[in-house]
Structure 1
Amino acid sequence: MLEIGKNAVNEALEAGANIEKLCVQKDLRSDALSRIVKKARERGVKIIFTDKAWLDKNAGGAAHQGVIAVSSEYKYYDLEEIVSAARAAGKQMTILLLDGVEDPHNLGAIIRVADCAGVDAVVVPKHRGCGVTDAVSKTSAGAVQYVKVAKVTNINDTVRYLREEGFTVFATDMDGKSMYSADLTGDIAIIIGGEGNGVHALTKKLADGIIAIPQFGRVNSLNASVAAGVVVYEAVRQREKHD
């Protein structure tokens, strides 16, 4: 997997990711780049100085800022292990379930929100959705190094499992009740639908409730990552007030 750009590369180094080599633009100088190179050397990472054309080609159009790190493929977490560990620590959990989110930039932004809001896991489906890619890592600004992303075979089975574990599961849909009237304290899972189709009908039926973000303008929906951020931070607000 490629970590593209200064933020993504720096966070990968800070998190101790398994970086195979660091590719740096040879004719570019900056303090930030120098710090990254120094950090990579301290960790014994192989450093290759190359030209901008090579970086442009391998960045696939993303802004590489003169640096790309080649790391091992993302290792997904096991959801049951995440839940067990949080239970053992006595922690209230928030989990994001993504139902058909296919845009890597949306997934990356959701992971970034998840890190900022202290979300315990982001769950993506094996099919009908985006996994962790170079573009996801870049958009997450390095947050992918800290957020636990689990990949599951079936989102509906995962909803059933979480409900059995005592989670309250909410699906997001503009026809639901206002999120301000929902109790988002305790162990919760929030289902975010994909671009265009939203949360699938059966998945909504399996949820404990359907919530909506109140809207007052003319556009009829929010971007998936924006919606995730709004709902997650309402949960944060309710928990802080409750505590």
Structure 2
Amino acid sequence: MKEKKTDMIIGRNPVAEALKSGREMERILIQKGAGGSVGKILSLAKERGVILQYEEKEFLDRKAGGGRHQGVIAFVSAHEYAGVEDMLALAEKRGEPPFLIVLDELEDPHNLGAVMRTAECAGAHGVIISRRRAGGLTETVARTSAGAVEYLPCARVTNIPRTLEDLKKKGIWVYACDMDGETYWKQDLTGPVALVIGSEGRGISRLAREKCDFAVSIPMVGKITSLNASNAAAILMYEVRKQRDGK
């Protein structure tokens, strides 16, 4: 069952209980200088690897829209996450080689939503995102994806490099989108594929890049030397689609 279409929990007790229940969270806003039971919330959040963001009271007041936040506001996932195995099962069900998109610390929710929209249209079997230093399935992502979150599995993993290793053990070739790679249309992308797209500013992390089998690049002939992450992902996804349809 999908979670409710809400992305905010307000107040110390509700947030603490949500943490104890294991509900997926994107981040927690903490009022600067808040004490008392906030300490327990901080401890639970750190245990689960939830991002903490410290702000002034006025900022939380605006976010809460008049609600009694008590110095704590949590942003929760608007939709359930899937597992990587769910994506592989979907590929098997369709009788297709796995086609996965791996986003390494992509933070912008509009980029994530755009990637999911294109991935669903291009026939990918799922999108894998990082739990830390990355955006999750918020309502902004749901809106930007134009409904793709309802149909495309999205997995949230703790360790992207380890996940890439696991995919390789399952026979999936891992391709990094990297400016130093081979021109993308020269690569054979008809087999089991995982495309790795880096963050908006840093690109693919060193550890993740080391786990990739190949690197593919998109030619840049203008004055700008890089594309928006979602645009780059779209070009590569449709190259996979083109090659598979051609085969």
Per the normalisation by structure 1, the TM-score is 0.69
Query: Residues 192-241 of structure 1: CA distance to partner in whole angstroms, max 9, x if unpaired?
Result: 00111000112111100011011211101000100110000011111111
Q: How does 1:171-186 map to 2 (within 5 A)?
A: 171-186=176-191
Contact 2:103/2:196 (8 A) holds in 1:
yes
Quickly say closer, same or farther: Cα 1:116–1:84, change in 2 above 3 A.
Answer: closer
Offset at 1:2? Answer: 3.8
Which residue is equivalent to 1:229?
Answer: 234
Separation in 2 of the partners of 1:83 and 1:100?
22
- Deviation for aligned residue 1:120: 0.3
**What SS class does the counterpart of residue 80 from structure 2 fall into?**
coil
2:89 alignment partner, one of 56, 59, 84: 84
CA apart distance, 1:87? 3.0
| Equivalent in the alignment of 2:115 | 110
Identity %: 41
Tell me the secondary structure at the aligned position of residue 186 of structure 1: coil
| Distance across 1 between alignment mates of 2:120 and 2:85 | 20
Which consecutive aligned stretches of 4+ in structure 1 deviate over 4 angstroms post-superposition? none
Of 122-131 and 84-93, deviating more is 84-93
Counterparts of 1:30-179 in structure 2 under 5 Å? 73-87=78-92, 89-179=94-184
RMSD: 2.2
* CA distance in structure 2 between the partners assigned to 1:237 and 1:85 by the alignment: 20
C-alpha displacement of 1:73: 3.7
State the alpha-carbon separation in 1 of the partners of residues 218 and 153 from structure 2. Answer: 25
**Cα deviation, residue 152, structure 1:** 0.8
Q: Distance in 2 between matches of 1:80 and 1:160?
A: 14
Partner of 1:208: 213
- Does structure 1 retain, via aligned residues, the 8 Å contact 2:131–2:156? yes
Instruction: Please state whether the residue corresponding to 1:130 is helix, strand or coil.
Output: coil
Q: In the comparison of the two structures, how many residue pairs are matched?
A: 179
User: How many Å separate the matches in 1 of 2:144 and 2:92?
Assistant: 31
How far is the alpha carbon of 1:82 from its aligned partner? 2.3
Check 1:143–1:89 CA distance in 2 against 1; reply closer, same or farther (3 A cut): closer
Gaps of 5+ in 2: 8-61, 66-76
Contact 1:3 1:137 in 2 (8 A): no
Aligned amino acid, residue 110 of structure 2: H
1:88, CA displacement in angstroms? 5.3
Letter in 2 for 1:121: G
1:100 and 1:125 in contact (8 A); partners too: yes
Query: Is there any run of 5+ residues in structure 1 with no aligned partner, and where?
Result: 5-56, 61-71
Scaled by the length of structure 2, the TM-score of the pair is: 0.68
Structure 1 residues 161 and 91 mapped into 2: Cα distance closer, same or farther (>3 Å)? same
